[in-house]
Structure 1
Amino acid sequence: MSRRGRWLAGACASTVAVGLLVTGGSPATAPQEGPGRGAGTGVAVGAYLHYGSPGVDRMQGLSRWLGGTELRAGHTYLPGDTWSNIEGAPDSLRSWARWRKARADRLFVLNVPMLEHNEAGVPDARVAELIRSGARGEYDDHFRRLARRLVTLGVPDTVVVLGWEMNGFNYTHRCRPDPENWKRYWRRIVAAMRSVGGQRLRFDFAPNRGGDAIAWTRCYPGDDVVDIVGMDSYDQPPGDTFDDQVTQPYGLQKQVDFAKAHGKRISYPEWGLFRNGDNPEYVRSMLDWIAEHRPLYHSITDYCPHGVWQCDQNPRSARVFRQLLSTGRGRDRTSSLDNQDNQDGRDH
């Protein structure tokens, strides 16, 4: 999905199974007490709410709307317009770093472009030239600077969603113009960032669901430079139903199977509504899928047309999202929410 919308926007599985999504926690941290707090085993719930500091502030509002559910995955993007921004120049990274450090069980998820002018409509021939330059190491210093910036800010364990949706048609960091050198370039970036002292970065390989411009398996750069196999999955074709989205070539089932074969955790850095409109069955099915397959984290894209909290055009989907992810949810909680207008509690 285009980041331009993010800049301008600023903006069933059983009850027990879906309930695992709101328990919080991460394997390396101690449990904490209180509603929505972690027991060390849960899926980290997140949302993309705004690329900058307002996104941090809105995390509290969404959490309140969900009855106190702890949002443990803070998700934002580095602009891909200039190398200086890709190096971590945005001041808003300080706000995200403060949010991450406030709790030991939180994840900071940062989408990082691989090339500048990332949404400039660069033609394939030029993209191939840039990828070859990256594979030769010409851009290594930019990524070392980013890694140093993250370490200095105190977020050395950031989850880096590098070159996301690389199997698509649009981004300058797309894979199709030269898959072999694209993989070499990914490896150069990871090596450069891992060379920085104090870093504990994890790298998330996150294609679009489906075949798109190229089979995403052709872009996979290797198990030694990938920590997580993600997928961005919106409610849009190909796939008229959720079952289609699961079974389509290079769809959700392929992601799960591929990650298992390679010994990797999965994630869903971006998901949400899209071309099929207000579709509560999609939201329910996606959350059931997440509950069953237990990704490291998931992050709904919460602005129109994709979202459920900051977007008023999806009221039925918002109701389902709120029911299934609210802390203290159960039969009584669900029944009471069914009797509320889903706009109640929108306090962003």
Structure 2
Amino acid sequence: MREVCGTPIMAVVKADGFGLGAIRVARAAVSGGATELGVATIDEALTLRAASLEEPILAWMLHDGARVGEALDAKIRLSLTRRAQVAEVARLAAGLGVVAEIELEVETGMHRSGCSEADWDATLDEARRAEASGWVRVIGVWTHLSGCSPAHFTEPLETLGRAADLARRKGLRPRVHAAASLAATIDPRTRLDLVRLGASLVGIEPVRADPVGLHPAIRWESHITQLHDVREGALVGYGRHRIDSPRRLALIPVGYADGVPRRASPTLGVLTRTGHKLPFIGTISMDHAVVDIGDLEVSPGEAVVLIGDPLRGEPGLADWADALDTIEQEILTGLGDRVARVESTSAWPA
């Protein structure tokens, strides 16, 4: 992605690093060339600071009761959207005796977060006063882009440009950024002074039909715990699924509390070490899933893959997303805490 964008990279590691561990993903991203980090909340930012990550960190969701003072003390950059927020951050910074670094998010068409155009003047004037006080430094003006094609980005980029121009006329010197992984990949106009990459850093291709060559960052393995010979007409799980012929079934110790949605059965399943696909059967439970092993000879303790590398014939994140009518990000961030995150460079355990 560094080669694709040619622009400084903010590694976005919100939602616990897209479910893979924020500290782990942040360190990997920094070692790969990211110059700063981005998260949604102050709590996420403080977790990174506590792990001795010293790179600039931007937090862009300031909910009521957020630990703003702690963030300023830890040199966390804060994204603000209203005049009152700017004034309050300036007041807190002065009281703490620290210089607050802030960015101003503007609303450019997504209608989610950001300062509306009607409020730009008041908010930027407050930012100028805050910077003149010596307790605030305005780092940037930025936005989230809506849409999924270059045609969708034109109007938001023009709106962002107007906001940045107004900020400069008022004496501020902000950098400007807009692009996340998709926009940064498909539209060079969006790269500006910085790109914010999240999904692409964990191996999710921005455009599956035109991949840039990202490698999967996740391999989810489990194992078989029990085998059952089941007669015709028997029930499987809590549901009312009846077996239409005698079957051999295997139990896998993962369920919907771990990130296997109930609707994953029967479309999805697992892959054995020998490359055999075993479909889920019956209703997924909170802690368990059952697979149909047919005539395959397997043993308790044998490893299986839930999500792996499609190039090896394994089910990938995209396969799960397609089968569940969602996106890869939802699958990743839905993995439960009981699923151990272990760093590994090998395809299978030795």
The two structures have a TM-score, normalised by structure 2, of 0.45
Higher relative contact order (CA 8 A, sep 6+): 1
The two structures have a TM-score, normalised by structure 1, of 0.46
Give the strand-richer structure, 1 or 2: 2
